[in-house]
Structure 1
Amino acid sequence: MIQVERLAELRHGQEADFFAQLFQKDLRLTRQGRPFFLLEFRDRTRNIAATIWEGSSHETACRDEWTVGHFYKIRGTFQETIHGGKIEIKRLRPVEDSDHESGFDPSDCQPSSEADTRELFDSVLDLVDQEIDTPELHSLVTTILETNRERIETLPGALHHHHAYAGGFLEHIYSVTQNVLYLLNTYRGQHPSLREPITRQLTIAGALLHDIGKLRELDGEVANTAYTAPGELIGHIILGRDLVRDTARELGLDLDAQWLLRLEHLVLSHQGTTANGSPKSPMTWEANLIYWADELDGNIFRLAKAYEQQDDGAPFVPKSNPFGRRVYRGDLPSQSENPS
């Protein structure tokens, strides 16, 4: 019997059994028109590709039974290529209850936040209590958050970009909220138009709700590894505005309230421009602050990943990173060499 290994620890040329989540399955064609399935499997820290060709013994099962978001026990040979890891699949089956005895844990088969998401969610609710005094706005924000708590604690920030792991959504909205609080506290003394209490409260509410449409954009039935039909056809920005509006209506809040109009606007404008997907550009203090804070958090995350993408000790990171330019990280000592 082949020992069960961790996907992240497989070595070039090694044949092994391991557990993984099917993250993507795409039907493609070669230039000659030959169909094949391109698969992507993952665990907490590594993603690998696999190809199932027309006529393969796995073709029918891959097409009809292998489901994105599900977990599998796989036997195959691992190869390192210039494009990343690849597995030649020999056997594959869905995980079974007995696999827990062999070390299967679903949390090991998908990337996730290092934070305690329950504590982080509680911190978000504390911010709402501390910062939002308008009763109707407080009720709207807490209702949306608490109604969706279980989902929010495991939701990724995105499928492929920043914070693309379980709990990443919560990390992102908390960081954006901290960013806007810093901006508000720094500049309110210089600019009287930033001192309106409703501006501060709307900015906090918008920071927490700007991406809330991802609850409807990402498909929870397949562990948030794909988009729903509304997510594909409409997208999280409009879906988020609809969720805010629907909840306000269910709570009996005045849909003509000035603050509600401004809240809808900042959800619709938080990506800044139509080129970035926003139907409207930011036109209020709170909308602009959220746009800037959102961009900052996403870019800090991308830069951190650029620094980490090659652990070869080289002072420069190649320009094959989200910024499209080389990144200098310097000849820094290793962590073990740092003074205590």
Structure 2
Amino acid sequence: MKLSDAKIGDMVLGFFALSQCELIPFTGGVRLQLEFRDASGKVPGVMWNEEAEMAYQQLRTAEVVKIKALLSSYKGTPQLQIEKIRPAKAEEYDLTELLPASESSLEELEQTVSELIELIEDAEIKNLVNDVLSDPQVRPRYFEVPAGTRWHHPYLRGLAEHSVSMARLAVKVCEHYAYLDKSLVIAGALLHDLGKIDELTVGSTLEYSSEGRLFGHMVIGYELLRSHAIKLGIADDVNIKKLLHMVLSHQGKKEYSAPVEPAFEEAFVLYFIDELDSKLNAISRIRNKPENERQEFSEWVNLLGTYLYLGRKEPAEDPSKG
């Protein structure tokens, strides 16, 4: 049973990612505050006193658990009352089935990336892109990790989906502004977030790695891309240097954590289409949240610096009335 399908009063039995496990003291005892996730959503859970303490010792390092629980309501919010719970064995579940994922399949994304690479006309840039994305240490992660953990494309295959979307935009922009170097813009779109393969981790939740927090994906991506360019003997090529600059500058401004700011047309284009694709994905996700179904405005959105106007959706009229 998916969490989103469960109704109040249902008994829920199955494997779920455990994204919170916190033992909280209160007057008279302790409670174990839990949060369970699958690809459809998340639901909090709770256990009390001796059972809570015993379960905590078993669960504090668990990523996935098997539960039997009654779905109840607490202050109007669904909550699982745990009857049985244990850590799951690795062979009992597929973690990728318990996390949200792109609507585009792995096969679709791989095929589209291959087609976009064929549009790159510069031989050395194409060689570099192929070399990076065929690296067995890179390719599986490139097509698995999210593009973020909160605002945009925060789901499995999100990085590849975001990169493909940007590369498609790049093709259109280069058709309109024919003087742009199409090879640079397409390659920049496909590789701009390359460092996220090491910046982000896929576990029971999508989180930042230690390397990601210490160095950031732009530096990680630059170093990875440059190491491949050195291996191919093309690191001193002017267009390769421009591509490396685009990876470092694609967030546009130093106050947005970019080590350097865009210095030529293709770098600016990459920054603009990254802003467009990431923000439209974030807006779409905010608009489609169930809690916003009948709201005129969203809550304050830090990413946008505003309340997003959603347009009030009036409930359908009851034909039995009036």
When normalised by structure 1's length, the TM-score is: 0.78
> Aligned runs of 1:185-334 on 2, under 5 Å?
185-188=175-178, 195=179, 199-220=181-202, 222=203, 225-253=206-234, 255-310=235-290, 314=294, 316-321=296-301, 323=304, 324-329=306-311, 331=313
Identity of paired residues, percent?
Answer: 27
Cα distance in 2 for residues equivalent to 1:121 and 1:300: 23
**Equivalent pairs, count:** 309
Cα distance in 2 for residues equivalent to 1:107 and 1:292: 32
Structure-2 change in CA distance of 1:186 and 1:54 (3 Å): farther
1:114 matched to 2:103? The reply is yes
User: CA deviation digits over 1:179-232, x for unaligned, max 9?
Assistant: 2222222233xxxxxx15xx3211111100000101111235x37733322112
Structure-2 change in CA distance of 1:240 and 1:105 (3 Å): closer
1:175 matched to 2:165? The reply is yes
Indicate if the aligned counterparts of 1:53 and 1:59 stay in contact, CA closer than 8 A: no
1:90 matched to 2:83? The reply is yes
Indicate if the aligned counterparts of 1:50 and 1:86 stay in contact, CA closer than 8 A: yes
User: Which amino acid in the other structure matches residue 243 of structure 2?
Assistant: L
Cα shift at 1:128? 1.1
Cα distance in 2 for residues equivalent to 1:83 and 1:243: 49
Aligned pair partner of 1:135 in 123, 126, 132: 123
Indicate if the aligned counterparts of 1:310 and 1:317 stay in contact, CA closer than 8 A: no
Cα shift at 1:333? 10
Cα shift at 1:52? 6.9
Gaps of 5+ in 1: 189-194, 335-340
Cα distance in 1 for residues equivalent to 2:212 and 2:33: 22
User: CA deviation digits over 1:219-259, x for unaligned, max 9?
Assistant: 35x37733322112112111111110111122222x22221
Aligned residue in 1 for 2:15 = 19
Gaps of 5+ in 2: 317-322
Cα distance in 1 for residues equivalent to 2:131 and 2:309: 43
When normalised by structure 2's length, the TM-score is: 0.82
Indicate if the aligned counterparts of 1:28 and 1:37 stay in contact, CA closer than 8 A: yes
User: Which amino acid in the other structure matches residue 59 of structure 1?
Assistant: Y
User: CA deviation digits over 1:89-145, x for unaligned, max 9?
Assistant: 33222335896xxxx665542211222221221211111112x22222111101111
User: Which amino acid in the other structure matches residue 168 of structure 1?
Assistant: G
Indicate if the aligned counterparts of 2:152 and 2:278 stay in contact, CA closer than 8 A: yes
Cα distance in 2 for residues equivalent to 1:29 and 1:288: 49
